[in-house]
Structure 1
Amino acid sequence: MSFLSKLRYITVDVTGTLLAYKGELGDYYCMAAKSVGLPCPDYKRMHEGFKLAYTEMAKKYPCFGHAAKMPNIVWWKTCVQDSFNRAGYKYDEETFEKIFKRIYASFGSSAPYVLFPDSVPFLRWVRAQGIPVGLVSNSEYRYQDVILPALGINQDSEWDFGVFSGIEGVEKPNPRIFEIALEKAGNIAPEEALHIGDSMRQDYIPAKSLGMHALLLDRFKTPDAENWRKSGAPVFPDLTAVQEILESGNVDLLKKY
């Protein structure tokens, strides 16, 4: 019996695995500022300000404010305003409101994202084998409801169920998010599922800790990939390579890359 025939579900990470951010954060903040007649904020300061603001918000109100019952738009508005403040830009309430609406709308659309060309073919191939697909992502509800459909990744066409941190209230690397995926898959045994992601800490380790099969993608040739391999993780350059190995039926080839 081949490895593929033993699988009852495959779960897949989203950002870095199926899609990536397009351009720089500063591009979208610049466009928003220009829309109200203001000059572009400094890209570097804006990037650093956002990193600090996002980290603080994620710590105080994890899973996009799920436990605090904070509306998604309020979470992001607080984060974006703090980002500007940390970068040294303070706007009056009316001006900031206009800038924020532009930023929130941009990141709630397909504009800032690019889909890897092998993503849709791979997901459709998996489902054609009779294996359902679950998406497991540290993201808010707009990924499920707006962004993925806008990019052509649709439920019941490319995927069967989703576990999104902003909806479930738990995020990777907490293994609980993978337990939820197994439950949604029909309470299947961990060894009957394979998880594909791009982070050793957030994808591979927690999935393996439950007994799931797991592998990693190294789409951007990160220096960390060599350490992933040394630790025993199967690492692939893209989903096309993953499909080729799964089609071969030789589970030992999972360590080829």
Structure 2
Amino acid sequence: MAAQALMQKASPAALGKLKCITVDVTGTLIAYKGLLGDYYCMAAKAVGLPCPDYDRMHQGFKIAYKDMATKHPCFGQASRMPNIDWWRVCVRNSFIEAGYNYDDETFGKVFKRIYSMFGSAAPYIIYPDAQPFLRWARKQGIIVGVVSNAEYRYRDVILPCLGLNQGSEWDFGVFSGIVGVEKPDPRIFEIALKKAGGIAPEQALHIGDSLRKDYVPARGLGMHALLLDRFQTNEAMRASEAGVPVFPDLTYAQKYIMSLQEKTEALVV
């Protein structure tokens, strides 16, 4: 397992000398309330249409999103496609894949509701341990960065509306829809290290919920990494068995970091 090989390079003592922590967003700091397909169905109902099939709608979204992410990565940033146009095509294709092809006027009404909703805090919930962890890290003098495969509205609207503000919870953000690079491409972590002031990889720690998108590329670059497993997934269980540090939430991650910092201080003394 690639993660197991990467773990062999880890040095718990060095982890106590952290200068920067980068954190994933969805699944780590915040989560969706329900499934995305549910919101598409609600938008259709809100304009007087029969409620689409929820399961078909959710599957339709997954197909359309994957297709758009392949053709126009980073929410269109890579191909200079405006964010709203990227989502317009994605949403339309989601309905078509689910078997619903509305006329332009009707779809325009549905899309307006969906785009506005996902540009607000309404569909999201913040994990209760997120804000305390980020504030704790910054109080330790650690630079905190957000690294996410997300578009600009996460930075400008969604995170602030959820109480995760630049300057109090995080110091800088690297969002794929802005920088044009997305995880698991290690270049997104290189950008983060530069934003943190040119910090060396071994002085930084990344926390995320995906072995492939978060843990492996961060470790491959030489950063330390932890994996969060809020839902007891099989992937995380296998990763833990391979030696990857896996924790159920950020509270446990904080305790782990503190214990390693204490060990480092004891070695120095």
Give RMSD over aligned pairs. Answer: 1.5
Of 83, 98, 102, the match for 2:113: 102
CA drift of 1:224 comes to 1.2
Whether 1:12 and 2:23 are equivalent positions in the alignment is yes
Task: Please report the TM-score for the alignment, with normalisation by the length of structure 1.
Answer: 0.95
- Distance between the aligned counterparts of 2:117 and 2:232, measured in 1? 28
Counterpart position of 2:166:
155
Counterpart position of 1:114:
125
Of residues 188-197 and 227-236 in structure 1, the stretch that sits farther from structure 2 once superposed is 227-236
5+ residue gaps in structure 1?
Answer: 253-257
- Distance between the aligned counterparts of 1:53 and 1:5, measured in 2? 43
Whether 1:168 and 2:179 are equivalent positions in the alignment is yes
- Distance between the aligned counterparts of 1:157 and 1:118, measured in 2? 15
CA drift of 1:28 comes to 1.1
Say if 1:217 and 1:235, in contact at 8 Å, map to a contact too.
yes
Counterpart position of 1:86:
97
Say if 1:134 and 1:161, in contact at 8 Å, map to a contact too.
yes
Counterpart position of 1:55:
66
- Distance between the aligned counterparts of 2:40 and 2:262, measured in 1? 46
Say if 1:26 and 1:41, in contact at 8 Å, map to a contact too.
no
Of 75, 78, 82, the match for 1:67: 78
- Distance between the aligned counterparts of 1:5 and 1:241, measured in 2? 16
Whether 1:188 and 2:202 are equivalent positions in the alignment is no
Secondary structure of 1:159 counterpart: coil
In structure 2, relative to structure 1, the CA distance for the partners of 1:248 and 1:212 (3 Å cut) is same
- Distance between the aligned counterparts of 1:181 and 1:65, measured in 2? 21
Deviations 1:161-196 (A, max 9, x none): 000000000000000000000111111110000000
1:167-246 correspondence runs (5 A): 167-246=178-257
Deviations 1:18-37 (A, max 9, x none): 01111122321122112211
Q: How many residues align?
A: 252
5+ residue gaps in structure 2?
Answer: 1-11, 264-269
Q: Which has the higher contact order (CA 8 A, sep 6+)?
A: 2
Aligned AA (1:13): D
Task: Please report the TM-score for the alignment, with normalisation by the length of structure 2.
Answer: 0.91
Counterpart position of 2:37:
26
1:124-143 correspondence runs (5 A): 124-143=135-154
- Distance between the aligned counterparts of 1:206 and 1:184, measured in 2? 18
CA drift of 1:249 comes to 3.1
- Distance between the aligned counterparts of 1:250 and 1:11, measured in 2? 17
Aligned AA (1:182): L
In structure 2, relative to structure 1, the CA distance for the partners of 1:189 and 1:250 (3 Å cut) is closer
CA drift of 1:243 comes to 1.1
Of residues 243-252 and 79-88 in structure 1, the stretch that sits farther from structure 2 once superposed is 243-252
Report sequence identity in percent. 69
- Distance between the aligned counterparts of 2:17 and 2:83, measured in 1? 39
Secondary structure of 2:79 counterpart: coil
Counterpart position of 1:255:
none
- Distance between the aligned counterparts of 1:137 and 1:50, measured in 2? 20
Of residues 169-178 and 23-32 in structure 1, the stretch that sits farther from structure 2 once superposed is 23-32
CA drift of 1:119 comes to 0.2
